[in-house]
Amino acid sequence: MAVGENILPELKPVSGITIGTANAGIKQTQRDDIAVVAMAEGSSCAAVFTQNAFCAAPVLLAWENLQKKPRWLLINSGNANAGTGRQGIRAAQSTCAALAELVAARPESVLPFSTGVIGENLPAAKIAAALPAALAALSEHAWEVAARAIMTTDTFAKGSSRQVTIAGETMTITGIAKGAGMIQPNMATMLAFIGCDAKIARPLLQQCLEQAVEQTFNRITVDGDTSTNDACVLMASGCSAAPEITGSCGIREFSGAVLEVCQDLAEAIIRDGEGATKFIRIVVQQAVTEQEALQVAKTIAHSPLVKTAFFASDPNWGRILAAVGRAGIADLDIDRIVMYLGDVCIVRNGGRADDYRETDGQRVMAGDEITVTVDLGRGQEAGQVLTCDFSYDYVRINAEYRT
């Protein structure tokens, strides 16, 4: 189940970045489950990874290899290779070595990524056997098939493209992502791969990625769980005719386009939240700091009581009020707080707004896209978090995940 009309847009090819997919039969044989990404010689690559202390073997290896000018990505779905100890590291290394041998490269030039069930050994031999087919399929036009190959419990493929003009030359940015459950803001709670044909040095590319992730992927939550495998990669092939992006040339246009692609992907993940029937935007305003606003917004977004009320289309505003009160904000003056469901004021002067009517709240809650606004009345800063409801299907999907 997903919220809204989720049609994959045209994913524009990125010069200097090719993708090939194949089926390795890791967990199923109905669709491709591995993807290989090749970057042109001289490409730059930036990435951010999960902050989960039990990070997966491919995360550890990818972080290490990122420092060594990578040229290849190897992605698999169906198995997370997490919680697998030293054996997991050896399995990730063997898949990187298998790809490197086929393309006459060093194993350190490969970044591995995995997603799927935690605690099961990676079938490295199956992946190695499927690599020739993936390499034979390499194409600049394979972003859509790759978006489908990396899916797990996702119900639709997620992608976005932007083009910007710098000094009269066109630059393309295309990204794909997967994620529907085990989503909680703490880096980038999913897998996302974004390619562009910009010329840009790695330190500046890393800076652009971190800024975009902080404003997008770090502000979404489905269930409050941070995955062991989260990663977001930004690749720059340098094949555009546009001038090199620097701190004074083209950075505003480039970073703005990267941000927009990340925004599209982050929103798609929430719309595809496991079992989701509601897309919920939580906006906290008039906070002392942006971090304070986000702290309140995330407390509301993580509340199972709030999320189940939304599933029931029940304007149980007391659950939102309680979440704000336990968000840990010092010296909070509840008499100054004003709350809205959509355009309906529900709380004012420390309690239910005098003009609030239950029928108005029910009207807002009947929609599949809802905005909750909280004015703290103590400052000028604001923050926003995207989330979804908890439905019966969320429990079913996760109860049956390994069956």
CA–CA separation, 376 and 177 (whole Å): 34
189 an active-site residue?
yes
Q: How far apart are CA 210 and CA 231, in angstroms?
A: 12
Q: In this structure, what DSSP letter does residue 246 have?
A: B
Say which of 50, 189, 277, 387 is annotated catalytic: 189
The secondary structure of the chain in percent helix, strand, coil, rounded to multiples of 5, reads 35, 25, 40
d(CA 271, CA 175): 17
Smallest Cα–Cα separation from 221: which of 288, 276, 156? 276
Amino acid at site 204: L
Judged by DSSP in three states, 107 sits in: helix
| DSSP structure string for 184-242 | -SSS-SSEEEEEE---B-HHHHHHHHHHHHHHTGGGEESSSPPPSS-EEEEEE---SSS
Question: Could you tell me which residues come within 8 angstroms of residue 101 by beta carbon, excluding any fewer than 6 positions away?
Answer: none
| CB atoms inside a 10 Å sphere around CB 283 | 16
Task: Please tell me the distance from the alpha carbon of residue 281 to that of residue 48, in angstroms, as a whole number.
Answer: 25
Amino acid letter at 35? Answer: A
User: Measured in whole angstroms, how far is the alpha carbon of residue 373 from the centre of its chain?
Assistant: 23
What Rg value do the Cα atoms of the chain yield, rounded?
22
Q: How far apart are CA 233 and CA 252, in angstroms?
A: 20
Helix (H, G, I), strand (E, B) or coil at 96: helix
Q: b or e along 209-223 (b: 16 or more beta carbons within 10 Å of the residue's beta carbon)?
A: bbebbeebbbbbbbb
The catalytic residue positions are 189
